[in-house]
Amino acid sequence: MSEDNRRDDELINRTESAEAEKGGGRELEAANLFDLRRIIGGLFVLYGAILTITGLFDTQAEIDKSAGVHINLWAGIAMLVLGGLFLVWAFTRPLGEQLAKAERESEEARARSGGDR
């Protein structure tokens, strides 16, 4: 599990440095917690791998138990895919950038509504 911790720490450092760069407000800082998408992705990839490997070595008796559905294998693959999708989402749209963008947009909106008055 040291790997998980290291990954979390790395995430924390990254979000913290992203915060420092833009010097965002309290709310944004809190939003930076750490990216839930990576945690879900990581857990499901791990579970998926465990089930897929278990599934590959399932005996016929185990397959018969689940009414002939090779459930460890299929569920394992499905979980790998789901976990993978979360990881792709998290890495293609990193939290830090999204937050900066959201802040810019809300500032623009604030400026606009201020101007209307």
Partner 1 sequence: MTQTRLDTNFLDYAILAIYFIVVLGVGFAARRYIKTSLDYFLSGRSLPAWITGLAFVSANLGATEILGMGANGAQYGVATVNYYWIGAVPAMVFLGLVMMPFYYGSKVRSVPEYLRLRFSNSSHIFNSITFALGTILIAGVNLYALALVLELLLGWTILTGIVVAAVIVLIYITLGGLSSAIYNEVLQFFVIIAALIPISVIGLHALGGWSGLSDKIEKTKLGEAGLHALQGTAPGHVTNPIGATWIGLVFGLGFVLSFSYWTTNFAEVQRALSAKNLSAGQRTPLIGAFPKLFIPAITVIPGLVALVVVPKLGSDTGTLAYNNAIPLLMNKYLPNGMLGIALTGLMASFMAGVAANVSAFNTVVTTDIVEPYIQRDRPDAYYVRVGRIVTVAGMIVAIGTALIASGYSNLMNYLQALFSIFNAPLFATFIIGMFWKRSTPAAGFWGLVAGTTAALVTYIGYKWAGWFSFGSDLDESFWGAGAAFVIDAIVTVAVTLFTKPKPVEELQGLVWGMANVDESARKPKWWESPQLLGFSALGIGAVLTIIFW
Question: Quick one: 21 or 36, whose CB is closer to partner 1?
Answer: 36
87 binds partner 1 (CB under 8 A): no
49 binding partner 1? (CB under 8 A): no
Which residue do the tokens 């998290």 mark? 90
Measured distance CA(109)–CA(111) in Å, rounded: 5
User: If binding is defined by CB under 8 A, does position 2 make contact with partner 1?
Assistant: no
DSSP for 43-84 reads HHHHHHHHHHHHHHT--HHHHHHTTT--HHHHHHHHHHHHHH
The one among 4, 10, 21, 97 contacting partner 1 by CB under 8 A: 4
Using rule CB under 8 A, residue 75 touches partner 1: yes
What distances in angstroms separate CA 26 from CA 2, 68, 98, one per listed residue? 30, 55, 16
Using rule CB under 8 A, residue 81 touches partner 1: no
Treating both helix axes as pointing N-terminal to C-terminal, what angle do 2-22 and 36-56 enclose, rounded to 10 degrees?
160
Q: How far is the CB of 67 from partner 1 (least distance, A)?
A: 4
The residue ranges that bind partner 1 (CB under 8 A) are 1, 4-5, 8, 11-12, 26-34, 36, 39-40, 43-44, 46-47, 50-51, 54-55, 58, 62-63, 65-69, 71-72, 75-76, 79, 82, 102, 105-106, 108-110, 113
